[in-house]
Structures are given as C-alpha cells and as structure tokens.
A and B are shown apart, each in its own frame.
Chain A
Amino acid sequence: MEKDIILKVENLSKQYRLGLVGTGTLGHDLNRWWSRIRGKEDPYLKIGESNDRSTKGNSDYVWALKDINFEVKQGEVLGIIGKNGAGKSTLLKILSKVTGPTTGEIKTKGRIASLLEVGTGFHPEMTGKENVFLNGAILGMTKMEIQSKMDEIVKFSGCERYIDTPVKRYSSGMTVRLAFAVAAHLDPDILVIDEVLAVGDAEFQKKAIGKMQDISNSDGRTVLFVSHNMAAVKSLCSRAIVLQHGTTIFEGDTHDAVDFYLKSDVANDIAHYVNETPESGSDILEVSMRDKNNNITGLFGFDDQITLQVKLRITEDILEYGSLGFRIKDKNERTVFSSEINLNEFVKKDGVYFSNIEFPKSVLLPNDYRVIIGYHVPNKKKIRSLFDVINFRIEETGTIFHKYKGVDFGCVVLDCKWSMIAD
C-alpha cells in the first residue's frame, strides 16, 4: 500500500506578515538575523495567529497554513475545497514551488506541474506559434515535446488561422484558448489544477472541462484539483480535503467532504445577526439563516431547505396593521423576489415571536444573495429596516447548468412544463 504514495505533505506551515513593509521590517529582519547567528530559533515563528480575517488580531504575523498533513496516492484525484482565504491558493503556491514553506516539507516522487493561471509569459508581440513554444517551455516542457504536440495544441485551441499572427491581434478569447491548449497538453506525473482555468465561452468551457476530466481519468495521472464548484469536485475527485483558516478540518470521501463543507459553520458569520441595541417596544431582535436541522449556516446546496428566521417583539399598538417583509437581492443589486405578511393574520397577542420563513426548494440558482428585512406599519411607521446584515450563498451541487461557467442564467429556475411530441 505504502508504495503507492506519490506525494506527502508533512506539517506544512506558512507564515505571513501583515501590514505594510516599511521601516519596521528592517528591524525585524535584523532581529531575525541576530538570533540566527546565535543559533537560536526565529523569534517571529513563535507568535502568529490563525488566519481569521474577520477578527482583528493583535499580532502582525498570521499563519496562512498551519500544520497541514496529507498524502496523495498514485492515480488519485484529490479535491481541495474551502472558502476564500482558507489557504487553498497558498497551498497551491507552495506545491508549485512559487513560494517556499515556513516550516514543514512536501515530498514527492513525481514531477509536479501546476496550472494556476493560463497564458503566463505570453508576449503580445510574438506570434501564436512562438508563444506556444515559450509558454510550453515556461511550464517545463522541452522544445522537442512541444514540437511533437504542436499540431494537437493548435487544433485544440481552434486558432489555426491566426497561428502566425502576433498574439496582440488576437481576441481575448483566442488568447485564452491558445493558452489553455498549451496547458492542457502538459504531461507531468502530478498535475495541480486551479478551477479558475475553465475560461472562455460556453462551448470552449465544455471542451476545457472535458479535457480536465480526460486528464483526471487517464491512467496513473495524479491530480490535485482546487475548486469552488462543488459539482465539478464531485464529478472529478475521489477524495477531498476541506481547509478552513489554514488548517485541514476534514479529509475523506468527496461526497462527505462536500456535505461537511456545506454544513460546517464555514460561513455562518454572515448568516446571523443579533440586534445589540433593541428598542424597548416593537423591534427585530435576531435574524438568521437556518438549514433543515435548524442550524445556522450561510451556505446551502441548491436543493437544500432554506429557512430565514426572524425573532421579533410585537407590541399591542402595531398588532393590527403591522407587517413584516423581506427582499432577496443578488450581488448585482437586482431584487430577485420579495415576500410580506400582515402580522394580524398570524398573531393575536403581543409578545416575542420566532418567524420562520421557508423558501421554496430548488428555485434559487447558485449565487450569492443578500437579505433585506423590513418591519413596519405600511405607509405610516418604520420600525426597523435591516440592509446589510444577512448574506447567504447557494453552492453549485448539481443543477442542470453546472457544466457552464460565466453564463448568466438569472437567479431562479422555474419548474416549467416540458414536453416532446413526435411529429
């Protein structure tokens, strides 16, 4: 069994210094150097905090990665998931040797090639062909290798006609196609792929994802795949790790990992609001997004049950005419839908109530949404309006549209009645 391990990450940590590089830097550098010549440990390695962006720490040093351990077997496709800032990119950068770790080691038995971005090193003044050679060489191919794959690359890119024209004359889409074509024909033992690679128009994306799938499925190829797209992770990977604040919080089967990621409190800080200075009369006390087990979360799968819970105090004077409503906006500030109730249809007595609003299932498409809540007596009195307190995200967990990227399908999918009748 052990013979199969091709990549081993041991106690990998990476420390970053926050703030500006300024005059203080020289002081710290000198201090570091002084303790090194005395044979002591780096004094700044002992301090440092976990990388939680939302809380203001009291140290200038943070650990972008802290004690990461995992192993990858020959031929395995490992998914790496986590929200922004979890350390995914840092891990990729260390794996691809762009930056070094602070402590720890990565041991490997194969050559690692990484695709963090396509088209690095493209020179606008050179022709497509010259750029293929240059880009291929930058990615670690020899001239011979590129030569032998040239026809294939040009064909895949679909830029035959422009191949002897300087790249600056290309449309941006063509540049990306050509760049991806070079990257897709790399042939290393271990391939590190960042999901942002799937670029271009819908047609080319299908081709690109198909190619990635081919690469992943082909015999003996080990792939590390980093993505936000849970559907892609589910379809490509056999095993996955979940990162949060620079540490591994889950490792195992892909389906379990995706579930864990969605269910974990990874994003609940944006999905819970507590009114710290409530009015003594009627007011909203608390708002949260809940899953079907009544746990607070800001991340939902497409077909998950989504509930908005509002805790509010209702006083006698507004019982009759008061109303509670909300609007859902997408990230472009478009209102997706709204809903409102008259309080007197639901409550007969004053007091504190929990209002649970269950959204229709499988309607909101994967995207980021914002909730705006209004508690008022229509046209008479505003009691409380909350604008920027609650956000939630619906993750791609397998809608029919998951195969496309960058295409706007709107915010809701409706259950249309389709039929096909033979002529």
Chain B
Amino acid sequence: MAVFIHKDRFYFFLIPMGNRYFVLTPYFIRKDIFKQSRQWYTNKIAKHKRQRQILNCTVYTAFREVKGDEMGTVFSVSKISKQYGQQTVLKDVSFSLREREILGLTGGNGAGKTTLIRLITGVNQPDSGEIDIAGKTEDRYRKIGTLIERPAIYKDMSAIDNLRYYGKLLGLEDEKKKAEAEETYKALLEKAGLSGCGKKKAGRFSTGMKQRLGIAIALLGDVTCLILDEPFNGLDAAGISELRSLLLRLKEESVSILITSHQISELTQICDRYVILDQGRIVFEATHEELREQAGGDEKIESLIVKKLGGE
C-alpha cells in the first residue's frame, strides 16, 4: 500500500490488490476537486505500476471506477479531410488527445500538420469529418489555448499589457474583478518564467521569451488543453530547454498538450504519445513505451521515428 500527499493537501491510499488498484480518499473531498485530480492519481498509479512492473490494472476510487490505462479524452478528431483546390492536404485523419498527456504530431514538410492544427482550433473548417471537443461547445474556446506557428504578440506593448489585451478579448476582465485579473496575469507570467520581465516591451524579448509569452497568452482563461504548432522553431539550446521545462510543468498541472514539431529529438524528450503524418494521412501512432519497445531503448526512438518518416 502506498500513501500519497496530493498537491491540494489531502492524502489518499493506493492499495494494489492483484491486478487492481484501490484508491481510498477521505469522504469530505469535493467530487469536482477529485475529478480534477483524477489525472494526478492516474499518473501516480502509472509510476507505481512501472516500479512494480504491473501492466494491466483497474483503479477503483471512492466515487467511480477508473481504468488504470484509460484517460479521459480532451478532443477527438474523426476522419477529417481538407482540400485546397485540387490538392488533398488531409485525408481521413483520426486521433485523439487524452487528458494530461503530451501528444507529439510530426511529419515532413507539407505533411499537413499546421492545417490539422488550424482545423482543430477552429481557425479553418474541415471539408468533412468531425472534431469532438469534450464538454460544452461554448467552453471549447476557453478550454483550448493555441499558439500557431508564432506567438501573436504586440511588440510595442509590454508582456503584461499583451496579457491584459488578450484578457479583455477573452472577457476575463468581465468575469473577474480587475485586481483578480491582474493576479491571473502575474501568475501566468510567473508560470512562463517571465515574472521579472512583465513591464519590458515584448519586442525586446529573445525568441524563447516570446514563445513563452505566447504560451502564457494561450493559457489565459480556463485552459486545460494547449495546442502548439512548431513552438521550438527558431529557439537556441537554452530557449528549447526552458520551453521544454515549461511544457513538462504544465503537464504536471494537468494541462494536456498537442505539439507539432520537426524536431523529433525534442518531441521524444517530452511526449507520451506520437502521431506521424505523411502526405495528409496518419502513417503511425504509438505511445512512448511502445516506441521504446520497438526501437530497443529511449535513445533509438528518434531514429525509429525518422525511419517511419521515410528517412535513414
């Protein structure tokens, strides 16, 4: 039996019994808090499973049964296709993003990654197929934060002014008091590692800082899912490292992330699952563990993905 202290300062007991886990939680925990924390439990269990080499298990909680390997779906894409003129950019693409996972979407140039991101975020519409976002439709825009290709920041405005602008755009200041909204902006800057640069003009930021400000903007609202298109582009080694840490921190905070990148070495360091696109079709989909098994070790995952992409 294992005892864990949750970040919200309540504890729970994890009891492995055969191939099942029982999660015992105190009665007084509010159901909504518990539901929000479900992902946290699942991860703890996953870690515990890895340590004990248990493969399949079912988790019982005080409130509902949660299968150990089943995570909730943030959104699912079902058979979407898109054409520009005579050119088919996407053809029958289906996949889903699960709660609290980092999903890497990769593929060669012109594979359709950015088009797919634009369709999922609602910037453009697919010709056919469905995109199902969990929860209410009207919540979609508040739950999903996006950074498409480059951060949509105003260079002549300070970092906090950029957040204030987008906060107004999203109606954040209509719902919260001004002081509360200001606290949110400061917290986001801190989360993005920009707390000391709030008043600095965004135009003076390094590329890495701009990307992180873009992510802070994307996190405005009640975001539980981040969609990032090529966030590593143009970053130096330090910038990549900072961004990687930020994404892992966000994952720890129960944010699900879909990330596209050409930089497979970066994806392999943070992703739980991969989807590989080629000429508008999904050619491969696997978890990190599955890839590791296939490749024969973490260090060989990158070369395996490159092979799947048709490289050497």
Are A and B interaction partners? no
A positions within 8 Å CB-CB of B: none
